[in-house]
């Protein structure tokens, strides 16, 4: 894999992508919206971001000044996100629905110079913005038919210009994004331009993205994965983003077909939904689709194989985190089932033990990365100040191993490991055994309190439609596949498993449920 060195990735790199795409593909759509059919060409996008730069300069926005964006997926969201970064300020993306109970605290932390909201989230956002008083507030509006009083009406009155831009460098703040928060308080992750923009070309190279691609993405562009693969990846190569506001199993295949999609974004939840749909899924009906990605959570190998066997469509799993962006990616049809792909070379990934020592291939340890020797991994404090959580190398909290060919395999979160009698057990391994059974649609294993062993192994399963539940038979099957200390002592039935909007399994919720059932 080519070794990219993204040390110099700053606002100038984004402007270079915009200018190159506008020069080479002026009339080519950069973004197409599947819901309303609107699109914006690269030439139009280049002019729009230059007009936005003029407005930001007129507002006195400087390096590291924060601009809060409360919006769902739209062309206007993308124009703000990319335009603010191309200008050289800090864009702060907030997923309103996931963080609606935390918006006041988020605003107090951010202390933005400008706050921008779309119509869908206007009432919620305005209520919190008004309590702050320091931020100037704009309604987003539409770029193509700007309504009076909106941001894009003001942008439309500005001349396109990119002179006198801030002297923003690769180490200045590029993005602040908030992790998905339901009951827990979301964390504000602060990423420099070097961390966020420097990840794009290594990631797109790993996935094999080119100017010929039409990338379909429905995931929220308020989070790192969608920002990178969906928004910035196509921009860096002059490709086209086919954008949806959210996932729809009934519309998904029609969207891929009608827009001649070549790469589709996905996650384990959406792949499972497609598996359980009555629609016919056949790669022959989608001749231009090269693969579907899967990220945010590990995809069970059994479901992976089942989807590929049923549809003929390759699944290319990838892996990353909010703090590090993409870490590894499977290269399309050259993917290795069960793996999240080969690590991006610049991350200098290692698998380490509790003392930080590298372990041999095949041995499970914690995933550690360190793209830059001097890098600071940062969060936003309650008072709005940036706090450094680590320097140099960063332990992700994910457990995994590298196989003999350098592919990375994940074994679960460090905090999710079950410690039974002092022995570490990976819940993902037990999930995988249960998923071998034809009647199991989903499985999740947790460690629950035990007076003798400290923790004991309990599994939850979701059945496929029409299947019967035989827990003793399932436990007997596990006993043939696992040593006794890893075999579940209970298998419980659930209609569905608790997950975040991003498709991440919430094992803590299952442990809490087990505790409530025993109290």
- Residue 409 in domain: no
178 & 256 share domain: yes
159 & 55 share domain: yes
Would the pLDDT of 4 be above 70?
no
383 & 479 share domain: no
How many contiguous H segments (helices) and E segments (strands) does the chain have? Answer: 16, 26
- Residue 410 in domain: no
Query: Mean pLDDT, the chain, as a whole number?
Result: 90
337 & 451 share domain: no
Q: Provide the pLDDT for residue 127.
A: 62
- Residue 412 in domain: no
325 & 433 share domain: no
472 & 363 share domain: no
Which domain-ending residue is among 402, 430, 451?
A: 402
Read off the CATH number of the domain in which 451 is found.
Answer: 3.30.300.30
313 & 339 share domain: yes
- Residue 247 in domain: yes
CA–CA separation, 397 vs 416, rounded Å?
10
- pLDDT 10s digits, 363-383: 999 999 998 888 999 999 988
257 & 190 share domain: yes
Give the mean pLDDT of 33-53.
97
Q: Provide the pLDDT for residue 184.
A: 61
- Residue 237 in domain: yes
Which domain-ending residue is among 369, 402, 435?
A: 402
Give how far Cα 183 sits from Cα of 380, 506, 508, 509, 511, Å: 19, 11, 11, 10, 15
Number of domains making up the chain: 2
341 & 423 share domain: no
- Residue 1 in domain: no
Which domain-ending residue is among 339, 369, 402?
A: 402
128 & 208 share domain: yes
Q: Provide the pLDDT for residue 100.
A: 76
Helix, coil or strand: residue 270: helix
- Residue 407 in domain: no
Per-residue pLDDT band for 1 (boundaries 50, 70, 90) equals very low
Smallest CA-to-CA distance from 350 within 341, 339, 359, 340 is with 359
Read off the CATH number of the domain in which 336 is found.
Answer: 3.40.50.12780
Domain encompassing residue 65: 6-402
What are the φ/ψ torsions at residue 97 (nearest 5 degrees)?
A: -60, -45
What are the φ/ψ torsions at residue 398 (nearest 5 degrees)?
A: -95, 140
429 & 314 share domain: no
Per-residue pLDDT band for 77 (boundaries 50, 70, 90) equals very high
Q: Provide the pLDDT for residue 104.
A: 85
The answer to whether 27 and 10 have CB atoms below 8 angstroms apart is no
Q: Pull the structure tokens for residue 60.
A: 């006195």
- Residue 359 in domain: yes
18 & 136 share domain: yes
Any bridge partners for residue 267, and if so which? none
| 303 sits in which H/E element | helix 301-311
- pLDDT 10s digits, 235-244: 999 999 999 9
- pLDDT 10s digits, 481-511: 998 989 999 999 999 999 876 677 889 899 9
Any bridge partners for residue 413, and if so which? 398
- pLDDT 10s digits, 98-145: 777 788 889 989 999 999 999 876 666 666 665 555 678 999 999 999
């Amino acid at each position: 894999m080519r070794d990219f060195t993204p040390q110099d990735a700053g606002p100038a790199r984004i402007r270079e992508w915009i200018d190159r795409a506008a020069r080479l593909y002026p009339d080519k759509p950069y973004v197409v919206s599947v819901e309303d059919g609107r699109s914006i060409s690269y030439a139009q996008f280049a002019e729009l971001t230059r007009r936005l730069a003029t407005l930001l300069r007129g507002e006195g926005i400087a390096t590291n000044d924060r601009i809060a964006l409360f919006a769902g997926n739209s062309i206007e969201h993308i124009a703000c996100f990319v335009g603010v970064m191309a200008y050289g300020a800090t864009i702060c993306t907030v997923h309103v629905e996931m963080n609606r109970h935390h918006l006041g605290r988020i605003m107090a932390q951010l202390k933005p110079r400008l706050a921008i909201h779309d119509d869908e989230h206007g009432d919620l956002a305005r209520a919190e913005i008004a309590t702050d008083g320091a931020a100037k507030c704009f309604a987003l509006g539409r770029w193509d038919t700007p309504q009076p009083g909106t941001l894009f009406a003001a942008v439309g009155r500005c001349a396109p210009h990119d002179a006198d831009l801030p002297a923003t460098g690769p180490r200045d703040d590029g993005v602040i994004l908030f992790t998905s928060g339901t009951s827990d308080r979301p964390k504000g992750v602060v990423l420099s331009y070097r961390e966020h923009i420097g990840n794009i070309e290594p990631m797109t190279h790993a996935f094999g993205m080119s100017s010929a691609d039409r990338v379909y993405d429905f995931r929220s562009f308020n989070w790192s994965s969608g920002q990178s693969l969906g928004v910035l990846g196509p921009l860096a190569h002059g490709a086209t983003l086919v954008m949806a506001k959210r996932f729809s199993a009934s519309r998904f295949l029609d969207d891929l077909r009608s827009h001649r999609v070549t790469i589709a974004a996905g996650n384990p939840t959406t792949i499972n939904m497609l598996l359980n749909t009555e629609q016919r899924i056949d790669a022959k009906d989608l001749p231009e689709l090269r693969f579907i990605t899967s990220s945010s959570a590990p995809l069970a190998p059994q479901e992976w194989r089942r989807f590929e066997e049923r549809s003929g469509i390759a699944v290319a799993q990838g892996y990353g985190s909010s703090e590090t962006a993409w870490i590894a990616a499977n290269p399309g049809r050259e993917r290795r089932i069960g793996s999240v792909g080969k690590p991006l070379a610049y991350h200098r990934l290692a698998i380490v033990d509790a003392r930080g020592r590298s372990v041999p291939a095949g041995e499970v340890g914690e995933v550690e990365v360190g793209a830059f020797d001097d890098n600071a991994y940062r969060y936003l404090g309650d008072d709005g100040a940036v706090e450094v959580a680590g320097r140099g190398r960063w332990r992700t909290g994910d457990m995994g191993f590298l196989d003999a060919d350098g592919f990375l395999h994940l074994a679960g979160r460090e905090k999710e490991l079950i410690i039974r009698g002092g022995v570490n057990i990976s819940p993902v391994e037990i999930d995988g055994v249960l998923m071998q059974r034809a009647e199991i649609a989903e499985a999740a294993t947790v460690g629950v309190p035990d007076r003798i062993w400290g923790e004991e192994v309990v599994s939850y399963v979701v059945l496929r439609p029409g299947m019967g539940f035989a827990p003793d038979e399932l436990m007997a099957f596990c006993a043939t596949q696992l040593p006794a200390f890893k075999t579940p002592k209970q298998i419980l039935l659930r209609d569905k498993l608790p997950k975040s909007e991003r498709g991440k399994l919430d094992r803590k919720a299952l442990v809490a449920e087990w505790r409530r059932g025993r109290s």
